[in-house]
Structure 1
Amino acid sequence: MKTTLVSKENNEAKFAMEFTAEEFDAAVDAAYKKSRGEFRINGFRKGKAPRSIIEKHYGEGIFFEDAINNMFRDHYVGAIEELGLDVIDSPDADFSEIGHGKPMTMTMTVKLFPIVDVKDYMGVEVDQYESVVMDSEIDNHLESLQKRNARMVSVDREAQNDDTVILDYAGFVGEEQFEGGTAERQELKLGSGSFIPGFEEQLVGAKAGDKVDVKVTFPEEYHAADLAGKDAVFHCEIHEVKEEQLPELDDDFAMDVSEYDTLEELKEKTREDILKTKDETSVNAAKDALVNKVTEANDVEVPATLVEEEIDNMANELDQNMRMQGLSFEQYLQFTGKDMAGFREDVREDAEKRAATRIVLRSIAAAENMEVTEEDIDAEMQKLADAYGMELDNVKSALAGSMEMFKKDILTTKVIDMLYDNAKISKVSALAPETEEVEKPEEAAEEE
């Protein structure tokens, strides 16, 4: 098969896939072998009639349509990849005269991903928040470290909210003990809301050795239908009351939870980490604002095919997010009272914006002659390997089937980085005016 580009202009291309007479006849023969079992000819067992007999009976073109469909399926994708065409819709096809012993040409007319003239994309003015780390943010991080390293200690006092009690209990409805309502040495954090409403509150004030009858009413919507809405009593025996004790914030704590020898070193590293995260967030927010400005400054006509493709992408993204939360996309639609058609209409406007942004960024890449190099690909693969703790070869294998999409993502990132590098960035404060003077660490240092 030979592929030839006929024309390419106005976001449309025409190309030809030329097959020899031998290639066409081989495709016809393959179609015959695949479908001959469907034909019953007098004098032959079903599926055993020669091709020539079937063609004589039904016409010589009986297998042509299947042969052409199979040739298209087997060669179309390779042809557009060979010609470097980014096709966004199904092709219109014309065919040369078809017959036994004749070469066959498929001439395809395809719509291409639109490349447009983009204006005013260099030197765009955009605000970027200055990154400031509050002392309270460092304190909150250290407090979370304390809690992660807390220990539970038995105390000889009445139980309070946030204490953990160790207890036995047995549940009864009337005089009858119900199944699943019994436990021994169960740990329960008071105030956690993990037991039936009203249960935990009645254990506040109890001490080790106490026996307490906890009276509750099961919720009407309780999962066990035989208990829903019923009054019950749990006979409880408290074995132990424990409180959470936090480690002291000192140099010993810093050495226990980090590689640093002093609390001040840990605080400084915490400040650096928070600042780095905030810087990344600030830059990304500025890039998003920059891309939005450039897109809004260019009135792009978005093909309907791209809008539908974006809606499909948004549905797939939501489906993946739902599955990570243990839900299905169908359950999401039920919860929101939508059907698939309603979902598609709800997200259509956002999909149009996303598609317009893709067109603008790809068009800028074309205008600037930007391409993805092997070095770019290797660098991005290494980032993925580092981020997910994978071997580089495993990353390459995982991406083998989606390399074109991977390259497009890299190109998009390169364009956005180029726009950011050439933008006019104005740093603005992320803090309210009355807090700026107090909270900026560099100003506090100057006052000292």
Structure 2
Amino acid sequence: MKSAVETLNPTRAKLTIEVPFEELKPSLDAAYQRIAKQVNVPGFRKGKVPPSVIDRQVGRGAVLDEAINDALPKLYVQALQENDLQPLAQPEIDITKLEDNDTLEFTAEVDVRPSIDLPSYDDLAVNVDAIVLSDEDIDEQVEALRERFATLNDVERAAADGDIVSIDLVASKDGEVVEGGEVTGYSYKVGAGDMLDGVDDALRGLSAGEEATFVSQLLGGDLAGEDVDVTVKVGSVKEQELPAFDDEFAQTASEFDTADELREDVKTRLERGKRLEQAAAARDAVLEKLLDSAEIPLPEGAVASELAERKGEIEQQLMYAGMTMEQYLDNEKQTVDEFEADLEKRVRDAMAAQFLLDEVAKSEELGVDQAELSQHLMRRAQQSGQNPDEFVKHMVEHNHIPEMVAEVVRGKALALIVEGAKVTDSAGGHVELKNLRPDGTIASAEEIAAAEAAAAEAATAAEEPAETE
């Protein structure tokens, strides 16, 4: 077999492959055997029909078609390997020459990975927002903790913001109850704003046993987005009584003995969360800066395919949530054009990042060991809410392990780039990115806490004098 490659543009190549007929013999023999098992020819047992008889009865053309369909995928892959091409999509195959017992020639046009000149990534510098933690932030978390331990007391008055009410709710259209539009005995905090538009205004001022009707729009179902009449009736009104934030509360709500210790722990957890946000922002800023300095041509066919797939996923998620695309865009305050432009940018940025990080990984000779792959699979299973064993089984059965390996390698490449970057915050301070995992993902607050505890324990052990006999 001979093959030659022609570069049509930076992301598309055309292979021309010429195959002598002797190399097609295994596929021709297999084609004759398959056809022999399918035809009935008087005087011959099924599966034992000679090739010459098959040529007369079925036709040599049918045999050639069968053989070529069998051989083409293997020949195509061989040509890719010989020319060191990495395809990004299915090829467009065209048989350009077929001379029986002589030569088969075909071409394959395909989107391929672009060749990238790696920019320097040793001296990148980015700036991110400084961590700001106010007393109000801490007070808000403390208040939320107090609400978790609040007691509810029945009150003989009208409902007001902050009260917990038990409600029955019925939605109707033209006097008929909407299917799925009834709720009974639902517990709701007045003023929360997470139910139908208008329900909070209707509830304010209602006492137990009273009802009100208002017009709103349903979020899902066949009548999503249409005006409906909603009647809400209050069953009971309860007032939240928050516990005092004192030492007794700290001992009840946590492992701490004093309120000061509990408040300090709240502050520490908030700081960890903000550090996670800052690390993610730094990582993204470093990658964006590197992408801006690189010329990365993108295959338009692959972009269009990925764009269609992403849009389909979003539409499916909206359907499961009972929302239309129009409602989603209205909530996001986006036009169709803005949504599509934003989605296309994200697709293009993600594809460019993949190409760039793959090139960095290749340059740095980064690999993946079994432990790293296993940890990544466990995290992906947790993120998707699936049983780890079932997730891994699905990945293996559907040949997705190479994709998982690629994700880890790209993450390691990104981590390497970020670790070498100079990251400062808006206050001029140095940002230490110790909460990056080796695969480039961001460690959780729990992992950071565990690491800090281990470091503190190790430091304490190092400071203790060694025992002497």
TM-score range, shorter chain: 0.5 to 0.7
CA distance in 1, matches of 2:251, 2:365: 53
Larger radius of gyration: 1
> Structure 1 stretch 323-332 or stretch 63-72: which is displaced more?
323-332
**TM-score, normalization by structure 1:** 0.67
CA distance in 1, matches of 2:216, 2:387: 51
Query: 1:445: which partner in 2?
Result: none
Query: 2:407: which partner in 1?
Result: 409
Are 1:119 and 2:119 counterparts?
yes
Query: 1:139: which partner in 2?
Result: 139
- After the TM superposition, which residues 264-303 of structure 1 pair with which residues of structure 2 at under 5 Å, given as runs? 264-303=260-299
Give the letter aligned to residue 265 of structure 1.
Answer: E
Query: 1:243: which partner in 2?
Result: 239
Query: 2:441: which partner in 1?
Result: none
Query: 1:318: which partner in 2?
Result: 314
Are 1:151 and 2:154 counterparts?
no
CA distance in 2, matches of 1:169, 1:395: 40
Can you list the C-alpha shifts for 1:283-323, whole angstroms capped at 9, x where unaligned?
21112111111111122222223322432453255246435
- After the TM superposition, which residues 337-348 of structure 1 pair with which residues of structure 2 at under 5 Å, given as runs? 347-348=343-344
Instruction: Pick from 349, 355, 364 the counterpart of residue 368 of structure 1.
Output: 364
Instruction: Pick from 402, 412, 426 the counterpart of residue 428 of structure 1.
Output: 426
Query: 2:301: which partner in 1?
Result: 305
**CA shift for structure 1 position 413:** 1.0
**TM-score, normalization by structure 2:** 0.65
User: Does the C-alpha gap of structure 1 residues 376 and 151 become closer, same or farther in structure 2, counting only changes over 3 Å?
Assistant: same
> Structure 1 stretch 405-414 or stretch 160-169: which is displaced more?
160-169
CA distance in 2, matches of 1:125, 1:417: 15
User: Does the C-alpha gap of structure 1 residues 368 and 198 become closer, same or farther in structure 2, counting only changes over 3 Å?
Assistant: closer
Are 1:261 and 2:262 counterparts?
no
Can you list the C-alpha shifts for 1:125-177, whole angstroms capped at 9, x where unaligned?
11133323222212111211222332221234455444345689999xxxxx9
How many residues are paired up? 407
Contact kept? 1:96, 1:105, Cα under 8 Å: yes
**CA shift for structure 1 position 282:** 0.9
Contact kept? 1:22, 1:103, Cα under 8 Å: no
Contact kept? 1:371, 1:411, Cα under 8 Å: yes
Q: Secondary structure at the match of 1:274?
A: helix
- Structure 2: which 5+ residue stretches go unaligned? 430-469
Contact kept? 2:164, 2:188, Cα under 8 Å: yes
Query: 1:204: which partner in 2?
Result: 205
Can you list the C-alpha shifts for 1:246-285, whole angstroms capped at 9, x where unaligned?
2222233223333333322222222222222211211211
Q: Secondary structure at the match of 1:113?
A: coil
CA RMSD of aligned residues (A): 5.5
Are 1:397 and 2:393 counterparts?
yes
Query: 2:450: which partner in 1?
Result: none
CA distance in 2, matches of 1:187, 1:308: 46
Contact kept? 1:198, 1:216, Cα under 8 Å: no
> Structure 1 stretch 293-302 or stretch 253-262: which is displaced more?
253-262
Q: Secondary structure at the match of 1:361?
A: helix
CA distance in 2, matches of 1:430, 1:215: 56
Query: 2:458: which partner in 1?
Result: none
**CA shift for structure 1 position 53:** 5.6
* Identity percentage of aligned residues: 22
Are 1:26 and 2:30 counterparts?
yes
CA distance in 1, matches of 2:89, 2:206: 71
